[in-house]
């Protein structure tokens, strides 16, 4: 199973729609910013917090880039 297939199947199991390409790209970029701005563990936990907050991935990416640029 590819990563894309796994994510789609996991979303389905959670009763959620599959992620669109823009959301995938923003979340991967977000994870990269978080990991490079601090430690690798920040990547998945940052993405989790975005989901808990109900924030759009692109909006969260903008916040993360602001934080990274401030350092």
Whether pLDDT at 71 is above 90: no
4 found inside a domain: no
3 found inside a domain: no
Q: What average pLDDT is seen over the chain?
A: 96
1 found inside a domain: no
Please write down the long-range contacts of 24-33, taking CB distance under 8 Å and 24 or more positions apart. 26/56, 26/57, 26/58, 26/60, 26/61, 27/57, 29/61, 30/57, 30/60, 30/61, 30/64, 33/61, 33/64, 33/65, 33/68
Number of domains in the chain: 1
Question: What range defines the domain where residue 65 resides?
Answer: 17-70
pLDDT tens-digit readout, 36-67: 999 999 999 999 999 999 999 999 999 999 99
35 found inside a domain: yes
Q: How much is the pTM?
A: 0.89
């Amino acid at each position: 199973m590819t990563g894309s297939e796994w994510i789609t199947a996991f979303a389905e199991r959670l009763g959620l729609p599959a992620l669109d390409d823009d959301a995938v790209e923003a979340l991967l970029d977000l994870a990269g910013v978080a990991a490079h701005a601090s430690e690798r563990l920040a990547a998945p936990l940052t993405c989790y917090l975005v989901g808990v907050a109900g924030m759009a991935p692109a909006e969260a990416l903008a916040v993360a880039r602001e934080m990274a640029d401030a350092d």
